[in-house]
Amino acid sequence: MAKYVYYFGKDGAEGKGDMKELLGGKGAGLAEMTNIGLPVPPGFTITTEVCVYYYRNKEYPEGVKEQVGAALQRLENEMGLNFGDRERPLLVSVRSGARTSMPGMMDTILNVGLNDESVNGLSKMTGNERFAWDSYRRLIQMFGDVVLGIEHAKFEEILQSVKEKKGLKYDYELSMDDLKEVVKQYKELVKKETGRDFPQDPREQLWFAIDAVFKSWDNQRAITYRKINNIPDEWGTAANVQAMVFGNMGEDSATGVGFTRNPATGEKKMYGEFLPNAQGEDVVAGIRTPLPISELERTISDAYRQLLNVAETLEKHYRDVQDFEFTIQQGKLYMLQTRTGKRTALAAVKIAVDMVKEGLIREEEAVMRIEPEQVETLLHPMIDPEAEVNEIARGLPASPGAVTGKVIFDPAEAAEIKEKDPEAKMILVRAETSPEDIAGMNACEGILTQHGGMTSHAAVVSRAMGKVCIVGCEAISVAREEFRAKDIVVKKGDVITLDGTTGRVILGDAPKVEASVMGEFAELLSYADKFRRLGVRANADTPEQARVAHNFGAEGVGLCRTEHMFFGEERIKAMREMILSDTEDQRRKALNKLLPMQRSDFIEFFREMAGKPVIIRTIDPPLHEFLPKTEEQIKELAEDMGISEKELKRKAESLHEVNPMLGHRGCRLGITYPEITEMQARAIFEAACQVKREGKEVIAEVMIPVVNDVREFINQKEIVDRVAKEVMQEQETDIRYKVGIMVELPRACVTADKIAKHAEFFSFGTNDLTQTTFGFSRDDVGKFVPEFIKRGILDFDPFQRLDEEGVGELMKMAVTKGKSANAEIELGICGEHGGDPSSIDFCHRAGLDYVSCSAYRVPVARLAAAHAALREKMKVERDK
């Protein structure tokens, strides 16, 4: 029979830390801590397989009941207690625990095993009758809510009414008799709501609780969380049954959570918070504000020292930052959970680099620990330190970065707005957040909460999402549709800025400055550079972008879209004149105006990227994109050109295309109007010669777009070569240059061998290649692609992540054919996918030489390229 239950206790654990798939993260952590001798209350884990079976078959697999019974028996023996005993009762907690942490998404039930008889046993055993009845009250309330589905508020009403009758303010002021009264009323409520008595059989309680934990895998907020975090529905959760320990047995008891290092900054110092004399759910409920963990040193110093040792043991054992939960029962420390600690990108980078220096991990490991996507947040702008800002409050800096947006209070509304307007920038402001707010949090740029600590729901989730977050900002008071900070009222829709790095809340839009790669981040990327094989270039349309990219470590420009230079005031006029010319002569006149402008841009590019390759693409988009749109523009241009508005409109109309994406563009323009390519080639080589004369090395690569056939390329290459020769002779300078193609049409992939005989490089334009391979117009897919993803017809948006199965297959064909014809051919990618880690991994596997992405994604790409290389290395080692 399959083993469904894994015991852990004084004789060690049946499970191990690497059995997360089977035992869930919590179960595996408890087993591992048990095995390395940390103080863990004994118990057992019911595997995720049981949950999966339960969902498939609507019943438990054979043998589970028996195995749970046996484990319970063993637990009773180990503890010297008996379940439901009127003298020495065993109490247990039942907790969920999936493969991956899903904080607060699923259910937990504590104090299982208490009934009208065992409550007396607990009372005798602990000598604390009040505690026993308080525990019983908690069980009925939690059980009623989670298992029986009775509204939480109804229990709160009873509790409140008893307190009011006695004129009490806090729960802990309730006397034993008060608690007995509460229990009595709670039981009546259960009877009334469910038609049944609160179950007195502890084994019935236990199975109810296990059912509830498994069922909570499919509650709405867990589903939403999984969707956002790409966790498969099929994984299921484990259920952990563990002997209760009590943090609520007096001032020498406590419960808390911590991190082995600071999860926000990465500082090497144990970090956390605790509540004295409390049970776990009190922390989560956020009703009492917890104390910083350092306070524990003062109040229960032995346990504090013990905890420091545990933290060190955990880090050494796991070789990573851990977060943990603990309970101190009458001075004795118990560990209830450990797992890899979530951290901000900032902290992740610092911790990884620090651990390399501490000799704890290797550089490779440090690199692999940072998700490429994560580091993009480090490149987010910061608030200009020089700027004067209107700070209205300060809270805890829970997740770093600076964002500005419109204030919104209702998470559901935020989610709605975002769906309609993906460009909407919002800041969610709440008293505190709870798991059902997740969709709304995801829709906002930043989160601000009045209450809660650095490990509150808002803080943990924001860090995981990479959202800017400030918590515990008690200086504000949040109402329905506004919040107050001192005497300032901020209403829905007002603009504020959050500085998640310092905790500042600022009124209005604060000026920001660009981030740069420094300190541990620079160090981490230097590790990455050692491992990656792919080069990383940047797509840059302006010299300014080239500068930014260079600072981020770009090893060249992979794509300069020259036509983007044509949109300046003066330039667009010359451009329009060129487009609307009737004769080659007229066109050349207009092109001559554009030549010096292009040349001066290229000079700056070559200067910035001296010694590095710069790929300049000849004109690409259909000409009518440059045409005047408004009546006013038309009038002005007609006057400038000395023709009638009617004539101008007629010409513009003749350029109209039904499907411009598949129209007269790219090299098709360069072929029908060779003088455009000539002008651009001249601008490139004149610029190159000038920069070379300044003593800088120039490597120019001229890229011909929208090529279908080798003859198109040969046509354009002849022009480029001819002009290059002319300019180099005129200027008596020699320039290293290549001419290649942008591979963005299926036909170019299919005929890549023929093209590669003449082309010196291929750069995959995967945006257009995706459009033509799928027959998807980027501008029009909004009508169905999101729906296709929702329905599972598409796994992802192929414009965001490269479609390996289709587009990738064509790319591989082009690579194979291209190399077969020209072993020296340089291969790269310059579509948006060049900055997407999963796509970069593909490019590595497909044998490209480099990726090119937007400037701000260069560090992401450097890291992703290293990941790809290391993954391959690991695979090779595994396969040995």
Q: Which residues bind its own copies (CB under 8 A)?
A: 657-664, 668, 671-672, 706, 708-709, 711-712, 715, 744-747, 750-751, 754, 768, 771-777, 779-781, 783-784, 787-788, 791-794, 803, 805-807, 809-810
Distances (CA, A) of 101 to 39, 213, 222, 226: 22, 14, 11, 10
Least distance in angstroms from the C-beta of 484 to its own copies? 15
Nearer to its own copies, 313 or 751 (CB): 751
Nearer to its own copies, 57 or 659 (CB): 659
Nearer to its own copies, 450 or 680 (CB): 450
Least distance in angstroms from the C-beta of 655 to its own copies? 9
CA dihedral (20, 23, 24, 27) in degrees, to 10, reads -110
Q: 837: left (phi > 0), else alpha (psi -120 to 50), else beta?
A: alpha
| Helix, coil or strand: residue 295 | helix
Least distance in angstroms from the C-beta of 580 to its own copies? 15
Nearer to its own copies, 541 or 803 (CB): 803
Nearer to its own copies, 391 or 625 (CB): 625
Nearer to its own copies, 542 or 777 (CB): 777
Least distance in angstroms from the C-beta of 420 to its own copies? 13
Q: 626: left (phi > 0), else alpha (psi -120 to 50), else beta?
A: alpha
**Sign of the torsion formed by the C-alpha atoms of 117, 123, 126 and 127:** negative
Distance between CA atoms of residues 516 and 536, nearest Å:
17
Residue 439 is given by DSSP the state H
Nearer to its own copies, 806 or 847 (CB): 806
| Helix, coil or strand: residue 691 | helix
Please check whether residue 365 is in contact with residue 59, taking contact to mean a CB–CB distance below 8 angstroms: no
Nearer to its own copies, 27 or 452 (CB): 452
Least distance in angstroms from the C-beta of 721 to its own copies? 17
**Sign of the torsion formed by the C-alpha atoms of 768, 771, 777 and 783:** negative
In the numeric block, the tokens 């200086």 are attached to 475
Least distance in angstroms from the C-beta of 706 to its own copies? 6
714, burial (CB in 10 Å: exposed 0-12, middle 13-18, buried 19+): middle
Distances (CA, A) of 440 to 415, 528, 787, 814: 5, 35, 20, 43
Least distance in angstroms from the C-beta of 476 to its own copies? 15
Least distance in angstroms from the C-beta of 769 to its own copies? 9
Three-class SS of 826-854: EEEECCHHHHCHHHHHHHHHHCCCEEEEE
Q: Which residues are catalytic?
A: 457, 830
Please check whether residue 377 is in contact with residue 491, taking contact to mean a CB–CB distance below 8 angstroms: no
The contacts of residue 595 (CB under 8 Å, 6+ apart) are: 679, 682, 683
Least distance in angstroms from the C-beta of 603 to its own copies? 33
Distance between CA atoms of residues 336 and 327, nearest Å:
7
Nearer to its own copies, 352 or 580 (CB): 580
Nearer to its own copies, 2 or 793 (CB): 793
Nearer to its own copies, 253 or 839 (CB): 839
Question: Which amino acid makes up residue 696?
Answer: K
Q: Where are the alpha helices (DSSP H) in 655-790?
A: 667-672, 674-693, 710-731, 746-750, 752-756, 766-774, 785-790
Nearer to its own copies, 376 or 474 (CB): 474
Least distance in angstroms from the C-beta of 668 to its own copies? 5
In sequence order, what are the beta bridge partners of 139?
Answer: none
Please check whether residue 467 is in contact with residue 441, taking contact to mean a CB–CB distance below 8 angstroms: yes
Least distance in angstroms from the C-beta of 583 to its own copies? 16
Tokens at residue 244, please? 């209760």
Q: 759: left (phi > 0), else alpha (psi -120 to 50), else beta?
A: beta
Distance between CA atoms of residues 271 and 257, nearest Å:
9
Least distance in angstroms from the C-beta of 765 to its own copies? 11
Distance between CA atoms of residues 125 and 121, nearest Å:
6
| Helix, coil or strand: residue 417 | helix
Distances (CA, A) of 133 to 95, 121, 161, 162, 397: 22, 11, 18, 15, 39
| Helix, coil or strand: residue 385 | coil
Distance between CA atoms of residues 434 and 109, nearest Å:
18
**CA triplet 583, 586, 590: central angle to 5 degrees?**
135
